[in-house]
Amino acid sequence: MTTTTLSPTSCYEIRPPFLFRWEDSQQAHVLLYPEGIVKLNATGGEILKRCDGRTTVAELIEQLSRSYDAADPATIRDGILKFLEVSHGKGWIRAKA
């Protein structure tokens, strides 16, 4: 697996053919794709919700640090970066050009 270096100024978006949405039947955010569905936990949903092609990685981290009232922002940052790296590696997101 290749490691992605995420720049604080990069913006990410959901990559087609994935469709990100709230699914009432799952009571969770999901990624739909032709072969199936990925049910996200609450934090994963909050991260991908912000992968709109306009929000930078730094802004995403700042928003979630405030949202979760993080006592240790470094822990939140590391978790977000790891999730974004995995999401990019799985092809769920791509850098917005």
**What mean pLDDT do residues 4-33 have?**
94
Q: How many domains does the chain have?
A: 1
Residue with tokens 């930078």: 56
Tell which residue, 82, 95, 71, has the closest CA to residue 3: 82
Does the pLDDT of residue 2 top 90, yes or no?
Answer: no
Determine the structural domain holding residue 29 and report its residue range. Answer: 11-95
| Whole-model pTM over 0.85 | yes
Q: Please report whether residue 42 resides in a domain.
A: yes
- The structure tokens listed for 18 are 């994935």
CATH of the domain at 36: 1.10.10.1150
Three-class SS of residue 42? Answer: helix
44-96 pLDDT, tens digit per residue, is 999 999 999 999 999 999 999 988 887 777 888 999 999 999 999 999 999 99
